[in-house]
Each structure stands twice: as C-alpha cells, then as structure tokens.
Amino acid sequence: MNRTLQLYRSLAGRPGGKWLFARAVCLRAPYFGSIRPRVLAMEPGRSRWSMRKRRAVHNHIGTVHALAMGNLCELAAGTLMECTVTPDQRWIPKGMDIRYLKKAETDVTAEATLAPELHGKTGDLPVNVDVTNTAGEIVAQATISMYVSERSGSRGT
C-alpha cells in the first residue's frame, strides 16, 4: 500500500480525519483548494470527492461553473492514481475530455474509476469520472488520460 492510501486510511475513521486529509491534498496541490473539496472515499481504482454549490464556484447563471466541476474531476482522478499506482510507478495527467450534460444546480460529487485490469499497467490509462448532483443525476462526465511510467531508477529493483 502506498503512502497516500496509508494516510487516508489512518485519518478517515477519526473525527475530522477526512477533512484533514482533504486539506493536506490541497496544501500539496493548492489550486484544488479553490473548490473546497471533501473526500468521501478512496481505494485502489476508485475515488469519490464532493464540493458544495456556493457562490465562489458559481457561473453567471448561478449554477456550478463547468471548470469547477473539471477541477473536481481532475482531483478525483489524481487521487485515484495516487492510491492505485505501484510504488515503482509515477503518473501525470496527459489530457481530459469532459462533457457537461446538464446544469449543476446542487452540490456535486465526482467518482473516478479505473478498470481493475489496468491496475499496475503503464502507458496512457483512461480514468472515467462521473459528476452527479444530489438527486444522483449525471451532470458531467470526463475521461482523463493518465500517463503512467516507471519511476527513474526503479528498473531491475
């Protein structure tokens, strides 16, 4: 198990632990802090995060801004990769295809998934992300291409 997943599991069951984990993620990647994300679940191959619909993430018509949802998608996909890759691997997002399907008029939740047969693989891996509203309706969908490679110096170890 990698350090990110260990940290999440050690904090998740404690009072305020998920909040503390989310803050730690935002300290490491500050831009994610702009949406004030909340972690709901993390395990290899799956990550769920949410954000509240609040004025700071509104667009001009008072719904959740498309790029705020894109930010949430990238966060869910990135944390999925952090807890799924093996210790001798590294990852980086390579591209994102996102479709906005309907107005997000409530809080939203993003769930990122990676097919089990891709765990431990290298190359371009597709992470699928569904963004749902509080009624469970999909308001956006993304596919994020993650490039996974061996860490430098890990060959033959």
Residue ranges covered by each domain of the chain: 3-150
Residue 1 binned pLDDT confidence (cut-offs 50, 70, 90): low
The answer to whether residue 81 scores a pLDDT higher than 60 is yes
Residue 157: predicted pLDDT:
45
Residue 3: predicted pLDDT:
86
Right CATH number for 3-150 from 3.40.50.11260, 3.40.50.10260, 3.10.129.10, 3.40.718.10?
A: 3.10.129.10
Cα 27 to chain centroid, rounded: 15
Give the global pTM: 0.92
Dist CA 58 CA 66 (whole Å)? 9
Q: What is the pLDDT of residues 136-151, one digit of tens each?
A: 999 999 999 999 999 8
Residue 89 binned pLDDT confidence (cut-offs 50, 70, 90): very high
DSSP calls for 59-115: -TTSSB-HHHHHHHHHHHHHHHHHHHS-TTEEEEEEEEEEEE-S---S-EEEEEE--
Average pLDDT, the chain: 94
Residue 154: predicted pLDDT:
59
Q: What is the pLDDT of residues 31-55, one digit of tens each?
A: 999 999 999 999 999 999 999 999 9
Q: Does residue 4 sit in helix, strand or coil?
A: helix
